[in-house]
Amino acid sequence: MNHFLDINKTDPETLRSILTQAQVTKDARQGLPKGTPDADQPLANHMVALIFEKPSTRTRTSFDVGVRQMGGQTMVLSGSDMQLGHGETIADTARVLSRYVDLIMIRTFEEETLLELAEHATVPVINGLTNRTHPCQIMADIMTFEEHRGPIVGKKVVWCGDGNNVCASFLHGAQQFGFDFTFTGPQTLEPEAEFMAAARKAGSKVIVERDPFKAVEGADLIVADTWVSMHDSQTTKERRHNQLRPYQVNDDLMAAAGEQALFMHCLPAHREEEVTSSVMDGPQSVIFDEAENRLHAQKAIMRWCVNG
């Protein structure tokens, strides 16, 4: 069963083949109208369930469009539609859905929900996001970096801010793709020690540097994410802003990194908070290429899930 649950649970050769397929698919679509189906139809006669316990713009749109371009159909289900794990066990939901659909993508809160769904499903399951990781985003990010700067192996990636789920998957990416990773942010918001240790064990140079200006020296890529979640209380938001304000990505920080450094953000962004508009709209920003590549990377992931 080809589940795509996390980058560190998929071998490097498979990850590389997925990115190669993503680029091939993207190149083949150059010049075509956006609604044009792909030349081949690997999801023809396939029904894909897209489950969203968390709201989404890019994940929902990119998966839905990707399935349709590859000849499949989607069934979009919200948490309120399903009451996942409340009225029925997750295991039973997995068994039932597997009788109806050919592939399941889930965007959920707890990692345990994803893992239990995958354990009991008899069709492939894709992690569209959990509170702990966000692997599809990092596949798109690596694809984007390599389009602009070539192979990412040996490069320096700097994460500014909160060591959240996207940061965790970047550490998994360092582990599997062989780039170095520097975290700059408050001690209270560091990424999980387990993830940093695994990347170091795989040979990546993983550094924690409190001074953001020292952290970005010689960076090839600087990445930021939102400081707060829509579910955070006002008190939590204020506390996070106070902790993270020194780690804003602005023109001075990008200048300290140098012209070679790209800037990424998985979006949506709170302009003038974690990053300034001048950086987001500036010459080193590739945020909209990054957003587009969610479509191409996820199409390649789905292709691998159903066809190997």
**Catalytic center residues:** 107, 134, 137, 225, 266, 294
Helix, strand, coil percentages (3-state) for the chain, rounded to 5, are 50, 15, 35
Across 174-208, b (16+ Cβ under 10 Å) vs e yields bbbbbbbbbbbbbeebebeeebbebbbebebebee
Distance CA 15, CA 7 (A): 8
Strand order in the sheet with 221-224: 206-208, 180-184, 156-160, 221-224, 262-265
The DSSP secondary-structure symbol of 217 reads T
Direct distance between the N- and C-terminal alpha carbons of the chain, in angstroms, rounded to an integer? 9
Short-list 34, 108, 98, 100, CA closest to 68: 34
List the structure tokens of 89: 């066990």
Residue 222 and residue 261 in contact, taking contact as beta carbons nearer than 8 Å:
yes
Strands of 53-188 (E only): list them. 73-78, 103-107, 125-129, 156-160, 180-184
Q: Give the β-pairing of 221-224 and 47-52.
A: unpaired
The DSSP secondary-structure symbol of 231 reads T
Distances (CA, A) of 128 to 79, 139, 173: 14, 12, 16
Short-list 212, 288, 209, 291, CA closest to 249: 212
